A and B are shown apart, each in its own frame.
Chain A
Amino acid sequence: MAKETFHDETAVMAEAMGPWKLAWRQLCRHRLAVWAGRILVAMYLIMLLDGFLCPYDYDSQRRDHAYHPPSRLHVFDAQGRFHLRPFVYGSGYTFDPVTFERRWTEDPGQIYPLRFFAAGDSTTMLLSLIPIHWHLFGVDAPGRLYLLGADYNGRDIFSRLIFAGRVSLTIGLVGTTISMVIGMLIGGLSGTLGGWGDNLIQRLCELIMLIPGLYTLMILYNALPAGLSSVQVYFGVVVILAFIGWASLARIIRGMVLSIKTSDFVTAARAAGVGPWRILVRHVLPGTFSYAIVAASLSIPAYILGESGLSLIGMGIQDPTPSWGNMLHDAVNIAELTKHPWLLWPGAAIFVTVMAFNFLGDGLRDALDPRMRTS
């Protein structure tokens, strides 16, 4: 048998590297997961540097620029002269005499060159911890740069898309953490208790799992008191989502705890006089970590989609705080969407994020589940 010979490379390596390092190596072999990981790291970095990377603050409005189309960057001006520094023209609009739709035109008389490290709107970065009024790029006022167009209030969609990461990218992590802590504690408790306590907790989990999800979310959202600040609404939404999310995790953790509970090292710990709570936290729950990590990474997309879905129908993060979901709210009106298709960009951001988390979760599952390990 290969197991008994010293030539078995994997066995020797497993001993030398330890399970976590081995898992890491396995993860690096999963090419799609590595790319997904890189994309996510880039997105989170962009999120941290949001105020610096976007030209405007998320609530910087120009009411007369409602639904301004994406700005075009030029290097040749109207006279055909070449400009080393790309520029945008000032813009104006006329009304279509029949439909009264706005027709946007560029004014070759006004040239606003693209400036780097330019002073502009005062805003914040690093999750609003650091105030900043320098921006990586922008154009001088009164010119406006709309890389992806503007929304109804004349706010830059590119800037809002990046700022929205604060909500949409963190809600998955925060929500998953909350439901994981609750799920592990309650699942662990249920498995440790046994008897009627276990029974009661399991019935409670089933109850949470059988109530219709979106209806419950909507009812709970409406139960939030009026007049909350945007941070309070954010945590309200997270808690609502976690309320639905912890039960399935708790059930699976309980099953794992039941099997770990009978292993020799737990018996040894009990014989050594370790208390039940300490056994649970120090000896039993760590055994469920690898599973919990996989489950967490696979449940992050559910939180992102949950927040977007709720915000999309107006029952989540409220304007002016941007989230990818509430930015899409404007796109629900098909007549407006057809005239201003750039309203769909937040959907693309959700798609990329969800896909990246799915691939990463897939890779993590392969890496942390020894049964699926190749070579």
Chain B
Amino acid sequence: MRRTARVLGTAIVFAILMLFLSTDAPAAPRVRVAYWLMADVIRGGSNAVGAVGVQTNVFKQGEEVVFRARVLDIGNGQDPGQQGKGIKALQDLGLKVTAYLEDGQSFPLSYGRHPAQVQGREAATWFWSSAWKIPASRAPGSVKWWVIVTDKSGASVRFDPIGAGTALPPIAIIIEKR
């Protein structure tokens, strides 16, 4: 009986030891990116003085800044919204994408099809977007921006345009007189 207890005890100790040694989790980095986030700004169609829908960070007063973001699950490289087929999955994840301006404004991005109206077999894609119409009275200058993705699990990923926080020329949105 005593021998049996000893064998059993040894086995349990070994098992616990193996649990600690074999799992990868403790060795994994603490900071793990949950989403692959890419964002840019393009000129919207409202009051545009330049080409519409093109990438730019230089805008005139009254023009529309459109924030666009692509969010992929880092685990499988796929769009959690499955190109419009997984809207419920987005809701289940509680995925939220928000653009922020340094003046305190924030713009929730919505997940949608682009172009919104397609004809026939025209190709479309799904991503996140939102727009900010620059007030005509807005003072010229620059305004920093960034985008944050969050979900129900507490994941939070921030995107800053390349070169943000450096002495590089115009990383922020630049507003010029019309």
Q: Is A bound to B?
A: no
